[in-house]
Amino acid sequence: MSSISPLSLESFAAQYNITLPKKFPNPFNSEGRRARGKPWTLGKLPVAVPKELGAGFGCFQAPYVPVGFTLDITDNGTLPLTIENACKPGFFCPFLDINNPATYPVQCPPSGNCFYFRSIGFPCWEPQGVFEPMICPSGFYCPDYKTVTVCPPGHYCLTGQTAPTKCEFLSLCSAGTIIQQHYGFTIIVAIIDIILVVIYRVLRQREKQRIMKVEEDQENKKALTTEDIQRNISALTAGFHKGLDGRVSGSINAGKMTAIMGPSGAGKTTFMNVLMGKAARSAGTLKINGTVAELASFKKLIGYVPQDDTMIEELSVRENIRYSARVRLPNSWTNTEVEAHAEAILQALNLSHVADKRIGNVLERGISGGQRKRVNIGMELAAAPLSVFLDEPTSGLDSTAAMDAVNILHSISRLGLTIVAVVHQPRVEIFETFDDVLMIAPGGRTAYFGPVSGAKPYFESLGFYFGQPPIVTEITKKWKTYAKTLTTADGKVSNASIDSMNTLAKHRGASFIRQVGLSHNRYLAQQSRLVGGFVLECLNGLAAGAIMGVASFGGENLSAHLIAPYLGLSTASRAWFIAMYGMLVGIAISLAAAPAGVNVFSGEKAVYLREAEAGHSSTAYFIGKNISSIPRILFSSAHFFALYYLLAQPPIAIGIQFALLFLNFFGIYGMGMFISMFISQQNAPLIAVTIGLISEVLCGFGPSLANATADGYVFILNIGLNRWAAEAQFWEWAKPYDSVFDEYLLSYSFGYQKGNTVKNMIIMFALGLAYRLIAKYYVPA
């Protein structure tokens, strides 16, 4: 063999009288066309190419001409000539002979169909030549360079795999499965939903039966008096029956019921706010038990009943009163004692027959207006206070309900409590129920302060005709022309010291941990009454997850540039789709979670302020509500995940994928919470969704992290949740392709960093906490 033509295999065959087939057979489809779930048997090598000819022959477009482009399997001589370097793991080179250079890997001209499929991101069905390396096809795995094995049942095999991946529990994985179809999580969520529905129906039925039984028991039962709570209140008020000395002109005495009256704008409510330390006092001195002090220092010993019936409307009468008692009574009281005290309050206020009824609102029928007012009072009496201040306790009530409320207050005052109420134009029967009255003239001047019985002679002595209380209100408007010396009332005076009251105040209220638990349990009970909102939230998450699953088309969605030396055999990269998909998932989560996060606190600002003013720890309240919101976040994210994971079929472990989605929900909830603190309740959901969308869009897809870093505004992306979630999801999705896709080219356009999944999860959790801390900071003090 003196000379060999390098131009063609045909000239070589002619020279040595070798017969070549007229049509070069394709061993990849002539004898062993692959089918999903069936073994793939290859045909034989059509022609044995002599090693003297070198590589380049065997391409199907021109098999006898060396049109194949030789691949650099030694990386310019820096790698040894081995089978592992010639055909890397995850690739299929069945006709490679490391001792024959003519069989070394080459890149062949693609057919028209192959070129098209590569241009849209899909690999060719088969190699374009007998010596062209082929990435191990999906549905099969390649344990070595010359073996293709069908993926076994119970496993799935993505493109370029050297071993099958075990499917998760309750997944559909027959032989030849490309990517698992996981039904397990969806089934678990459905079972939990059914269990919750059954539990809810049972509890709801028991609640109705309990209410009906109480109503039947109370039908022939007359109203009770305050005798049942006298023992509890007396034990805490003994020795502290001294009232309040004020420069307004006199004293407010224990065991007495004092009315504050005056025309509109005279300053009645302002006076009460100054008295209680809610508003600044410009002049004068306030004395408690003969010592200069401020009522704000004893807020745990003082009850304040606002004009509006501020309470949790989803809870029952008993639950509202019992919660106030548990939070504000001394921590030394046992649960039995607290329960007994709360029941005594219910009986004394004639609320036992509606104790298990929900408060209700305009849309959901609950208790009557008079009963709401008594609950409002009962929530303060539950704390066994020394004094109770009420802002227009009879407003909005009919004459009967107003008289009932005042009679109850009068009876309670006889236990030794100081009762102070702002009233506006009361009926004569109500007016005469009070012991003392403070009449304030326009400008905040004291027109009269003394016994109710002394008001008539006093004003008649000034030349006024004294008729009904509305006439008294008119008299106070003209009083400034008759400034006289104030008449004061006599009252019981206690020798109790301020130090003793300070000691008593310190022992009032549940411990911080107990308050956290009580706040947590109350919100859970509240959520159990808002079933419609909870169901809607879960359905919203389910629909959002389903839409994201359908939008992904399912199956294997990632293709990218192959590792060297196979770069020329690559398809068009579809890494952009995975990056964009991370953004779309984040957008869907923000739409599902942001409005729900707003609702955690936005509707309870008034309740929070009332409780904080009474000594409830705002931090304990905030922590308790946040902890109790976690199950709701968990259920919402689980419903999103159930259909998302089933339909999208991401090649990511269930635990990691769910953790990323849950943390995204957790963070968006926190974002909704802090937005609700400084945006009105009507506008907060819209603002939360808008800010959530912006946060989720700025995830590194567009603008990319690389561009944001180069231009100096990457911090804007870093304070958002989805920047971390999208990066982690991107690399977890690409993780199974580590051995076949070029990592640098895979994320070059986005700037995502590999291997940061755990770190990113920690950052997402920290951001969720940070949003909540901001919300806590903005909670009104």
Claim to verify: residue 533 and residue 465 sit in the same structural domain = no
CA distance 197 to 191: 10
Claim to verify: residue 537 and residue 647 sit in the same structural domain = yes
Q: In what order do the strands lie in the sheet with 286-288?
A: 250-252, 244-246, 286-288, 291-292
Instruction: Give pLDDT, residue 472.
Output: 54
Domain boundary among 86, 109, 135: 135
On whether the CB atoms of residues 706 and 717 are closer than 8 A, the answer is: no
H or E stretch at 240: none
Asked whether the predicted pLDDT for residue 223 surpasses 80, the reply is: no
Between 729 and 273, the higher pLDDT residue: 729
* Number of domains making up the chain: 3
Closest CA to 390 of 366, 402, 399: 402
- Kindly list the distances between the CA atom of residue 32 and the CA atoms of 38, 113, 540, in Å, as whole numbers in the listed order: 10, 20, 49
Claim to verify: residue 769 and residue 653 sit in the same structural domain = yes
> Whole-model pTM?
0.83
On whether the CB atoms of residues 48 and 54 are closer than 8 A, the answer is: no
Query: 170 in a domain, yes or no?
Result: no
**Model confidence band, residue 215 (pLDDT cutoffs 50, 70, 90):** low
On whether the CB atoms of residues 405 and 340 are closer than 8 A, the answer is: no
On whether the CB atoms of residues 8 and 64 are closer than 8 A, the answer is: yes
Of the ranges 396-400, 489-493, 557-561, which one carries the lowest mean pLDDT score? 489-493
pLDDT mean over 208-226: 58
Claim to verify: residue 231 and residue 122 sit in the same structural domain = no
Asked whether the predicted pLDDT for residue 235 surpasses 90, the reply is: no
Claim to verify: residue 480 and residue 521 sit in the same structural domain = no
Claim to verify: residue 667 and residue 704 sit in the same structural domain = yes
Instruction: Give pLDDT, residue 55.
Output: 85
Claim to verify: residue 541 and residue 665 sit in the same structural domain = yes
Question: pLDDT for 23-81, tens place per residue?
Answer: 778 888 754 456 667 777 787 887 777 777 788 888 988 888 888 999 999 888 888 99
Query: 210 in a domain, yes or no?
Result: no
CA distance 412 to 406: 10
Query: 505 in a domain, yes or no?
Result: no
Instruction: Give pLDDT, residue 591.
Output: 93
Closest CA to 641 of 623, 616, 658: 658
Claim to verify: residue 322 and residue 421 sit in the same structural domain = yes
Question: pLDDT for 403-458, tens place per residue?
Answer: 888 888 888 888 778 888 888 778 888 888 898 888 887 767 778 888 888 887 87
pLDDT mean over 501-530: 83
Query: 352 in a domain, yes or no?
Result: yes
Query: 237 in a domain, yes or no?
Result: yes
Asked whether the predicted pLDDT for residue 290 surpasses 80, the reply is: no
Q: Is 514 exposed, middle or buried (0-12, 13-18, 19+ CB in 10 A)?
A: middle
684: its two tokens: 């907060």
Query: 218 in a domain, yes or no?
Result: no
Domain span including residue 3:
1-135
pLDDT mean over 105-133: 91
**Model confidence band, residue 173 (pLDDT cutoffs 50, 70, 90):** very high
Query: 561 in a domain, yes or no?
Result: yes
On whether the CB atoms of residues 170 and 627 are closer than 8 A, the answer is: no
On whether the CB atoms of residues 95 and 130 are closer than 8 A, the answer is: yes
401: its two tokens: 């309900």
Claim to verify: residue 530 and residue 483 sit in the same structural domain = no
pLDDT mean over 686-710: 92
Asked whether the predicted pLDDT for residue 484 surpasses 50, the reply is: no
Instruction: Give pLDDT, residue 178.
Output: 93
**Model confidence band, residue 4 (pLDDT cutoffs 50, 70, 90):** very low
Asked whether the predicted pLDDT for residue 334 surpasses 50, the reply is: yes
- 3-state DSSP assignment of residue 304: strand
**Model confidence band, residue 166 (pLDDT cutoffs 50, 70, 90):** very high
CATH label of the domain that carries residue 309: 3.40.50.300
Query: 173 in a domain, yes or no?
Result: no
Of the ranges 333-347, 433-447, 536-550, 573-587, which one carries the lowest mean pLDDT score? 433-447
Claim to verify: residue 584 and residue 673 sit in the same structural domain = yes
> How far does Cα 546 stand from its chain's mean position?
20
Question: pLDDT for 531-540, tens place per residue?
Answer: 888 999 999 9
Between 508 and 110, the higher pLDDT residue: 110
Claim to verify: residue 453 and residue 528 sit in the same structural domain = no
What is the average pLDDT value for the chain, to the nearest integer? 83
pLDDT mean over 691-717: 92
If phi > 0 it is left, if psi is from -120 to 50 it is alpha, else beta; for residue 154 that is left
Claim to verify: residue 255 and residue 378 sit in the same structural domain = yes
